[in-house]
Each structure stands twice: as structure tokens, then as C-alpha cells.
Amino acid sequence: MTGLAQFRRRYRLDEAPVPFTLDGAPFAGRRGDTVLTAILSVTGSLRRTEFTGEPRAGFCLIGACQDCHVLTADGRRLRACTTLLEPGMAFVTAGAMA
């Protein structure tokens, strides 16, 4: 994970928490969050680019560019901006070259 969160939650604070793990650490998003929203609410990037190793946090945020893919702990790749967060999801970003 890199640095401070990209997003600061201001809305839907009363929605039910949805637990997930990121690089083995426990976190919680909120019901209705996308994977992208949940991850960027707790850290500064989704993954590191396979070309330069620089941190990536998505680009278009609407599902058009495919820059927001993340790796699940079991090795699957998914698009973070169009995938709803589900309880128990686990993601890998640290050292992951997706």
C-alpha cells in the first residue's frame, strides 16, 4: 500500500460496514462501495504498474480504461471500478505486478 488514502469518505457513513483485507490487513468499506472506492478510501493506490512499478489508482473511474484492475489474494484479476465490494474479499497490492 502506498501513503495516505486517495478518497475521503463524506457520504453514506451510516451504511453497513463490509469487511475486506488489503495485503493481509483488515479494513472495512461500506455497503454499496465498489472495490475501487473501498481500497482508495484506505490507501493511495490499487496496484503497481507492470511496466515501471509506479503506483496506479485508476484513470477514468467509470470502467472504460481498464487501468483500475486489482489482484485478489487468490490471483484473480478484476476491474475495481465496476465490481461491488463483497464481505470477505481479499486483495493484494504490495509488491504485486498485476
Contact partners, residue 80, CB within 8 Å, separation at least 6: 34, 35, 36, 39, 46, 58, 68, 69, 70
DSSP 5: -
What pLDDT was estimated at residue 97? 43
Q: What is the pLDDT of residues 24-82, one digit of tens each?
A: 999 999 999 999 999 998 888 887 777 888 877 777 777 778 778 888 999 999 999 99
CA distance 15 to 23: 24
- Report residue 30: phi and psi, to 5°: -130, 150
Rounded to 5°, the CA angle 9-53-22 comes to 40
Q: What are the residue ranges spanned by the domains of the chain? A: 17-92
Q: Is 3.10.20.740 the CATH number for 17-92?
A: yes
Q: Is 29 exposed, middle or buried (0-12, 13-18, 19+ CB in 10 A)?
A: buried
What pLDDT was estimated at residue 22? 94
**Residue 67 and residue 79 in contact, taking contact as beta carbons nearer than 8 Å:** no
